Amino acid sequence: VIQNNLGFIGAGNMAEALIRGILETGVCNPENIVAADVNEIRLAHMAKFYGISTTPSNQALAQTCPILILAVKPQHAGEALAELAPELHPERHVLISIAAGLTTTYLEKALKKKIKVVRVMPNTPARLRAGATAFCLGQLSGEAETLLTRRIFEAVGTVVRVDEKQMNAVTALSGSGPAYVFKLCEMMTAAGMEMGLPAEESEQLSIQTILGAGRMLSECGQTAEALRIAVTSPAGTTEAALKTLASSDFEHVFKDALKAARDRGAALTPQEQDA
Ligand SMILES: NC(=O)c1ccc[n+]([C@@H]2O[C@H](COP(=O)([O-])OP(=O)(O)OC[C@H]3O[C@@H](n4cnc5c(N)ncnc54)[C@H](OP(=O)(O)O)[C@@H]3O)[C@@H](O)[C@H]2O)c1
């Protein structure tokens, strides 16, 4: 159990997902969690549902919490960091940011002192504690911050460490990834309907197929390739479908889609001189 106070800057969707996961797994007790937000309705909701403390002040948050999680939208991060900075102490505080696209160098510069920072990219299935999270360390962070980050984010799913230069690839793969699967579900449902299935049944079969295949990938201990080969009998129905995919530009288009997401991430990243 994390005994130090954990402070959330921003009590929105992702902060709530994290707090719920942390409480459900017992990583931290509600009396050790504080949330700060500009929105008082959000704070009242968080206090009521999770029994955590709240404050409208980021300064007050920094005074009581050595572990700070920056969970505001990236466009609000500069303002929040400026409020926090005067209250932070290099020996006492660590800042863990989930703000998409903000580099550790940007965060370190914005804080204007030698504060340990960690940059984290979670994804929306964190809401169901099925998230995929990647993180990278700032210049001053080390083993202790790695362990801390893993403990917090393992409460909402799996966690991997990457180099900062790989963060835009992470954003393209797991950050935006759920949307690709949602799109796949839409396409499978539409195809089923075109072949005569009623809408509801087509959707139900598509959803359960994606869920079941995901669970097999996660739980059967076999690679995606091995599982695919196992369901593809020679000259069978699956093979007919996969051959059609292979003869189109599908794989190439899919790779290009992820690269477009990665490049968009790079274009949106504020430069450190903006800090
Ligand atoms: N949702 C995801 O799947 C996901 C995945 C990866 C990363 N992230 C990152 O997580 C961060 C939070 O996303 P979210 O979807 O949880 O956003 P959100 O629901 O908008 O939550 C942010 C909260 O912070 C409040 N806020 C704004 N400025 C503030 C300030 N200066 N001090 C304190 N609180 C402030 C907002 O209030 P107002 O609404 O009144 O402005 C809002 O309640 C973003 O940076 C995003 O890039 C999200």
What secondary structure does DSSP assign to 67-93, as a single string? EEEE-S-HHHHHHHHHHHGGG--TTT-
Residue nearest to atom 15 of ligand 1 (CA): 13
Q: In what order do the strands lie in the sheet containing 157-161? A: 53-55, 33-36, 6-9, 67-70, 94-97, 116-121, 131-137, 157-161
pLDDT of residue 14: 95
Ligand 1 center to 12 CA (angstroms) = 5
Segment-wise mean pLDDT, segments of 10 residues, the chain, 275 residues: 94 96 96 97 98 97 97 95 96 96 95 96 96 98 97 97 96 97 98 98 98 97 98 96 95 96 90 68
Q: How far apart are the two ends of the chain, measured CA to CA in Å?
A: 34
Residue nearest to atom 39 of ligand 1 (CA): 39
Residue nearest to atom 31 of ligand 1 (CA): 80
Please tell me if the CB atom of residue 93 comes closer than 6 angstroms to any atom of ligand 1: no
Three-class secondary structure of residue 1 per DSSP: coil
Pocket probe for ligand 1: among 14, 106, 268, the residue whose CB has the most ligand atoms within 8 Å is 14
Strand partners, 34: 7, 53
> What's the token pair of residue 173?
């793969």
pLDDT of residue 268: 86
Please tell me if the CB atom of residue 11 comes closer than 6 angstroms to any atom of ligand 1: yes
Ligand 1 center to 157 CA (angstroms) = 20
Please tell me if the CB atom of residue 80 comes closer than 6 angstroms to any atom of ligand 1: yes
Amino acid at site 236: G
Pocket probe for ligand 1: among 38, 84, 96, the residue whose CB has the most ligand atoms within 8 Å is 38
pTM over 0.85: yes
pLDDT of residue 1: 85
Q: What crossing angle do the helices spanning 104-111 and 74-84 adopt, rounded to 10°?
A: 40
Residue nearest to atom 17 of ligand 1 (CA): 12
Q: Which residues contact 72 (CB under 8 A, 6 or more apart)?
A: 9, 10, 12, 80, 99
Residue nearest to atom 24 of ligand 1 (CA): 10
